Amino acid sequence: MATSSVEAPAPRAFATGAPVGRDALLGAAIRWPRPSLLEAPLELNGKAAEAAQALGLNRVADLLEHLPRARRDARSIAALEPGETATVVAEVKAIAGRPVRRRGMRPLVEATVADGTATMKATFFNQPWLLQRYRPGTRLVLHGKYAGRAAFRVSHHAVTEETGAEAGEVSHYAATVGLSSTQILALMAGSRGLLEEVVEPLPGRLRARHRLPERRTALAAVHFARDGEEAETGRRRLAFEELLLTQLALLHRRARRRSREEAMALDSEPSLTGRWLAGGLPFNLTADQGAAIETIGVELAGSRPMQRLLMGDVGSGKTVVALFAMLRAAEHGRQAVMMAPTETLAEQHFAAIQRLIGAENVSLALLTGSTPAARRADILAKLESGELALAVGTHALIEPGVRFASLAVAVVDEQHRFGVRQRAALDAKAPAGLVAHVLHMTATPIPRTLALCRHGDLDQTRLTELPRGRRPVDTHVVTGGRERARAYERIREELRRGRQAFVVCPLVDEPEDPGAGWWGEAARGAEAAAEARAATVEYERLAAGEFAGFRVVLLHGQMHHRDKQAAMAAFAAGEADVLVATSVIEVGIDVPNATVMVVENAERFGLSQLHQLRGRVGRGEHRSLCLLFGSKTSTRLRALADHADGFALAEIDLALRREGELIGTRQSGLSQFRTARLPEDAALLEAARACAERVIDGDPLLCSPEHVLLAGALAAALGEEAERPIAA
Ligand code: ADP
Ligand code: MG
């Protein structure tokens, strides 16, 4: 019998791929890390110990995880100026001690050091033991003052990589009084051997697949690398781990929720929805809408609660998709709600849904804070009896007094992700032991990186295709008096043709105390008032000036609800030509005959806000115009003029905000990471997400032996965060 001999592939070194011989394999030391050694307190005395504590460096582990904030070029010796304080990297050529005359002073140590550009004498005070430690050939990082005449007084020093001759880069650390960056580097070098004790949380298979170095190697590279590329390899390894842990936490939470909660399975044949989709709609679905409906239909048919985020630009047609989910509940004799953040928005959804339901016989009601008491009582009774199938409204729908016979589906509009408490309120509305399927909708296009970080525990669907008949809006940046005059002429032309125009006014002045102001209720109130004033002034100016003879109405957040409604109704009915407003119209006004959007002081708005505003026009058959009054040099305004796609704008916005954050002016919401940098690390994030999905799919609760250390790292990194119940 012939035996086929299969030769095992020769072993190769990790990462380099160099062949490894038998002797090398047998000779390799076997050791396991002893992480307990990392728990030892840092040995420092006096001021340095206090300073270390202030930096949160108590244990050896804290030190090793204190990652450099930057890398700095070491100065070359030849370039040093007398009197300059600098860091150099140099090699010891000779070293000697010299007694000091002064009483109480220990011998001075003088080393001749060179860095390839020049040689100088470095002096160390009061540390005679350096004579033994810094033998010729040792490479040092020296921080001190160049006194001229080739003399350098060293204040901080550390051993660095032994090899290499040119001045390289050195790590620069967040430091404090009493503990300089160079001292930290010295401590780090002294503790370098302990990197051996660092535990590797990533399973070997996973590291191999993603070609990631070991954790301790990565840490060594980040601290001690001589060139940026090597340091970057280490940083990416740590960043991958960080992103993976975050994604694991999100998916782990989702997995736990799925294992504990159950929803009604809406799995019977589609009777009503089948008929409705086939012939009850006034238009054909886009491919995106069709795909979303199919996904949602499958999800609703299971008892695993749906938690899906439906993202789509203004006008992308989310309502019909949401209504499908609601009608699925209705045709099972169950109930569904749609919740909007404002009454105006709720009213519009109500009207839109009434239109879309068309001839189908499904009961529907609107419930908001301003629903009259008698009507409210009637609606509550019918929700409780089950007579009412669908309800649209505000948070009034989840108030304690509202009871449902059988709530199965909830649609939550406009990115109002609930907090844990509201989530509980919603859950309580479903029949005992069950929770509702939830569909979240947002018109704010979120860049993918942000969506993964912020909503990574939700399934996500995007509508990217605009429904047929929708055309991009001509967008222009208008600067200066001449252009402004021409713009008004152009608007009057539109108005004379029977079209309508929006004029949006942000507040003109900066809030008085932005530092304290942005987050305070009082300040927000003051800001709304200022905005209202700005709009009112502009309204009066335009009504008497540029738009004299046209019907101009005003809308701002401080008006009485009744007056707001009247203004909106007049504009919607075509009884007003121009609506002057604050950003309250940002979401939820639908007037297809409006073809002009004017934004005053456009730079005051964020990119996504401007995009939302622009989405108010271009909704009908006529070509529309968006005029942004502001500076032509504004990157944001230019981006808006150049791009129609909300998701593309969102990516630009993120990139711009990231820049803003670097100069410390804005928040991007992605600063939570220590080593990962977004959006630059987007590809790494995708890889980490895919990896987390694979891990959780195979081991949802992370209890296989292979994942024990990963679960440990997760608990250590995210602590309670990882255990927190999920918000809807
Ligand atoms: P969104 O809520 O995503 O901003 P809507 O659902 O309000 O968008 O839809 C915007 C407009 O487009 C509505 O008037 C709606 O009836 C219409 N619409 C939605 N889907 C389509 C489609 N596939 N074809 C044509 N018109 C559509
Ligand atoms: Mg909508």
**Mean pLDDT along residues 656-678:** 58
- Atom number, ligand 1, closest to the C-alpha of residue 316: 3
- Alpha-carbon separation of residue 647 from 439, 451, 459 (angstroms): 20, 11, 18
Contacts of 585 (CB under 8 A, 6+ apart): 502, 504, 555, 579, 613, 616
Q: Is the CB of 316 under 6 A from ligand 1?
A: yes
Residue of the CA atom closest to atom 21 of ligand 1: 467
Q: Is the CB of 445 under 6 A from ligand 1?
A: no
CA dist 669 and 672 (Å) reads 7
Kindly give the distance from the C-alpha atom of residue 316 to the centroid of ligand 1, in angstroms, as a whole number.
6
**Mean pLDDT along residues 388-413:** 95
Kindly give the distance from the C-alpha atom of residue 442 to the centroid of ligand 2, in angstroms, as a whole number.
8
CA dist 475 and 573 (Å) reads 26
Residue 589 predicted with pLDDT over 90: no
- Of the pLDDT bands very low, low, confident and very high (cuts 50, 70, 90), residue 327 is very high
- Alpha-carbon separation of residue 618 from 419, 683, 704 (angstroms): 35, 35, 55
Starting at the earlier edge strand, list the strands of the sheet with 307-312.
364-367, 390-393, 335-339, 407-412, 437-442, 307-312, 459-463
- Atom number, ligand 1, closest to the C-alpha of residue 619: 11
Residue of the CA atom closest to atom 26 of ligand 1: 467
Give 88's strand partners.
Answer: 75, 142
**Mean pLDDT along residues 148-156:** 88
- Of the pLDDT bands very low, low, confident and very high (cuts 50, 70, 90), residue 245 is very high
- Residue pair 375/392 in contact by the 8 Å Cβ criterion: no
CA dist 158 and 282 (Å) reads 75
**What's the one-letter identity of residue 54?**
A
Residue 228 predicted with pLDDT over 50: yes
From 310, 311, 320, the mutation candidate for ligand 1 (largest count of ligand atoms within 8 A of CB) is 320
Ligand nearest to the backbone CA of 288: 1
Q: Determine which helix (DSSP H) or strand (DSSP E) holds 420, and give its type and residue range.
A: helix 420-427
Q: Is the CB of 348 under 6 A from ligand 1?
A: no
Residue 532 predicted with pLDDT over 80: no
- Residue pair 654/666 in contact by the 8 Å Cβ criterion: no
- Residue pair 548/527 in contact by the 8 Å Cβ criterion: no
Joined tokens for residue 139: 């490479």
Joined tokens for residue 319: 């309502």
- Residue pair 98/92 in contact by the 8 Å Cβ criterion: no
Q: Is the CB of 312 under 6 A from ligand 1?
A: yes
Report how many helices (DSSP H) and strands (DSSP E) the chain contains, helices first. Answer: 25, 20
From 319, 350, 585, the mutation candidate for ligand 1 (largest count of ligand atoms within 8 A of CB) is 319
DSSP state of 14: T
Residue 166 predicted with pLDDT over 60: no
**What's the one-letter identity of residue 205?**
R
Residue of the CA atom closest to atom 27 of ligand 1: 467
* Biggest distance spanned by C-alpha atoms of the chain: 105
Kindly give the distance from the C-alpha atom of residue 159 to the centroid of ligand 1, in angstroms, as a whole number.
66
Secondary structure (3-state) at 456: coil
Residue 623 predicted with pLDDT over 80: yes
Cα angle for residues 378, 380, 381 (degrees, 5° grid): 65
**Mean pLDDT along residues 457-465:** 89
Q: Tokens 């119209």, residue? A: 585
**What's the one-letter identity of residue 113?**
V
**Cβ count within 10 A of residue 285:** 17
**Mean pLDDT along residues 484-500:** 96
Secondary structure (3-state) at 449: helix
CA dist 619 and 616 (Å) reads 7
Q: Is the CB of 305 under 6 A from ligand 1?
A: no
Residue 273 predicted with pLDDT over 90: yes
Residue of the CA atom closest to atom 19 of ligand 1: 317
pLDDT for the residue 190: 81
Joined tokens for residue 192: 């370098």
pLDDT for the residue 227: 78
Across 157-166, 196-205, 236-245, 540-549, least confident range = 157-166
- Residue pair 224/189 in contact by the 8 Å Cβ criterion: yes
Residue 6 predicted with pLDDT over 90: no
